[in-house]
Amino acid sequence: MKNEILCSTGALIGRPNGRDYRLLKELVPKIHSDGFEFMMYSTWYDRVQDIVEFLKENSINTPTFHCQKSIGESISKGAPEDIKDAFEKFEINAKMAHDIGAKKMVMHLWDGITSDAFFDNNIKAYPRLKEITDGYGVDLLIENVVCNQQSPMEHWCELYEKYPDIGFIFDTKMAAFHGQLELLYKEEYAWLWKEKHIRHYHVNDYGGGIKDWANLRTLPIGKGNIDFEEFFSFIKKIGYSGTYTIESTAFNSEGYVDTEMLNREIEYIKSKL
């Protein structure tokens, strides 16, 4: 498998530009990535088929799909109506991922203010989620999302112990937020890459300290304090070959998108791989 550098559509479209997915038609040709990670928003459920047709008509390559984030929070809450809504929406996301040609789906298994406060609900939900994505031929990958109770690596270990074939997506910013980026390099966690559990990476910078909530922003590479020289040296050493996504917010408060900033990130990653 060759290395592919993707750009998140969430870096290009958001509230300031009306979450208008049609903007991708003019923005996509300006981005020097190998494809895109499509980010699903909670406000798009009444436009799913329109979005699928738009992406196909414009030949937008989307190898990876990012599941709508708050589904994990609904699972955490655990009330019957929350669980029902979560699985209904998750199925829509999985089908959409299949329909746009994505092979991988990133999920925040826990999320939001509730976060990992009721992690038992999340861990119990995983088999059904996996069954749904398997049915659509999509690889479900659980992200090391920030926690307000424990830590992402603790939860990954719990999930691995219960579901030994589980797949993960490793986000550099999320790991750095918990002071866990360096755990990736330790022999104690070598099972993550030796057994190919990590099957996708989000490459984002972070400028705060450990659990520094005021600085939990997705920064472009080089604008924070992550040592990417060390990160990419390790990635090359272990022989990982696969997909990476950059997610740095590229739009300003007026909705203008800085495509040059994203392209600089892409060129940097290419130079390291």
Domain ranges of the chain: 4-272
List strand residue ranges (DSSP E) for 61-197, in order.
Answer: 64-66, 104-107, 139-143, 167-171
Range 245-260 average pLDDT: 93
* pTM of the predicted structure, to 2 decimals: 0.96
Residue-wise pLDDT for 229-242, tens only, equals: 999 999 999 999 99
d(C-alpha 211, C-alpha 174), whole Å: 10
Could you tell me the fold of the domain covering 4-272?
TIM Barrel (3.20.20)
The answer to whether residue 1 scores a pLDDT higher than 80 is: no
11-35 confidence digits (pLDDT tens) = 999 999 999 999 999 999 999 999 9
The pLDDT tens digits of the residues spanning 62-95 come to 999 999 999 999 999 999 999 999 999 999 999 9
Mean pLDDT of the chain: 96
CA distances, 237 to each of 14, 114, 115, 228 (Å): 36, 37, 34, 14
Q: What is the pLDDT of residue 220?
A: 95
Tens of pLDDT, residue by residue over 117-146, are 999 999 999 999 999 999 999 999 999 999
Q: Which DSSP helix (H) or strand (E) runs through 39?
A: strand 35-39
CA-nearest of 151, 128, 272 to 201 is: 272
In this predicted structure, what is the pLDDT of residue 255? 85
